[in-house]
Amino acid sequence: MHAVQFADHGDRGVIEYAERPDPSPGRGEVLVDVKAGALNHLDVWTRRGLPGIDLDLPHVPGSDAAGVVESVGDGVTRFEPGDRVAVSAGVSCGECEFCRHGEESQCVDYHIIGEHVPGVHAEYAAVPEDNLVAVPEGVDWATAAAAPLVFQTAWRMLMTRADLAAGESVLVLGASGGVGHAAVQIADFAGAEVFATASTEEKLDYAREVGADHAINYAETDFASEVFELTDGRGVDVVVDHVGGETWDDSLKSLAKGGRLVTCGATAGSRPETNVNRVFWNQLSILGSTMATPGEVDDVLAKVWDGTFEVRVRDRLPMGETARAHELLEDREGFGKVVVVPDSEFDA
């Protein structure tokens, strides 16, 4: 089979689409005939080399994919050949105190398919049964591949960690990205007043289409000042910040007294300065969030499958052009997700 892989960490030039041995499903695993995969910024960071994570090289990236069950290993009970499935990438141990209490995403041995272990951007992938969800007939492969990671992440951030309530206000940074465009829709669904930032008017128009009440061009204005003007000096109840870096201080500035900042990543830098005086004086909460529990995954994907939430796909490319897909993410081109399809399936 062919798979996306890189033998060294580095720039986009290390990516290749090359032959690899066909995988076989082990005990508890399912062999998936992959019809589509989707990229996340995690794929970029993994390619560059995440500190503290040692990969077996060459490494196959990819945390999101969907396809048809080809065969199953011993002990598999939930799926059989011909079933339509999508990957949910979070892997937990199932035994620690967090797993026992239904908080699998806080597992002490938590890892992510495509980040810590081989991923699924290949013609075939052997995936643990517990990391697959059923995909209904009528859901297209691009949607099925692109939804799981970003929608489960945004759902847990807002509905569980931030405990968002109807009538509250939410600021979503980077609304044109995967997590961002999911968070806008989830906040709108929850009955919140939604503020969204993006860098172009085209992206802001898309943000409005999927649920933003207020759209702020952060390339042209200070978003914290704009939020305070739009809220008559109050600020918002919740900020969704997966950007970090230089946005961090403005995210804290944008919060109302008692507000909550929830973060799942730091695409612009992981060591921003924090004004501690602002945190304690305004009684702010800073909440970390990673992926989701199986129950949360089921809850949010049910709303993707039935059309409540829409997965916006900005580009669909053959896996042989995955370097171009990485470029789209790094240059922040377009609105929504980038999908890659095995070359043998592209336009099939």
Report the alpha-carbon distance of residue 326 to residue 10 in Å, rounded. Answer: 12
Q: Can you read off the two tokens belonging to residue 301?
A: 């994907």
Report the alpha-carbon distance of residue 113 to residue 150 in Å, rounded. Answer: 14
103 Cβ neighbours under 8 A, 6+ residues apart: 293
pLDDT recorded at residue 267: 65
pTM: 0.94
| Per-block mean pLDDT, blocks of 10 residues, the chain (348 long) | 96 96 96 98 91 86 98 97 97 93 92 93 97 97 97 97 98 93 97 96 94 94 94 97 82 96 77 80 93 96 97 96 95 90 86
pLDDT recorded at residue 134: 98
pLDDT recorded at residue 263: 93
pLDDT recorded at residue 270: 65
The residues spanned by each domain of the chain are: 2-147+311-341, 151-288
185 Cβ neighbours under 8 A, 6+ residues apart: 210, 211, 309, 310
Q: Angle, to 10 degrees, between the axis of helix 201-209 and the axis of helix 178-189?
A: 40
Task: Say how many residues make up the chain.
Answer: 348
Rounded to the nearest 5 degrees, what angle is found at the Cα of 317, between the Cα atoms of 314 and 318?
165
- Highest CATH level, class, for 151-288: alpha beta
Q: Angle, to 10 degrees, between the axis of helix 178-189 and the axis of helix 148-155?
A: 50
Q: Tell me the fold of 2-147+311-341.
A: Quinone Oxidoreductase; Chain A, domain 1 (3.90.180)
223 Cβ neighbours under 8 A, 6+ residues apart: 171, 173, 197, 216, 250, 254
Q: If you count DSSP H runs as helices and E runs as strands, how many of each does the chain have, helices first?
A: 11, 17
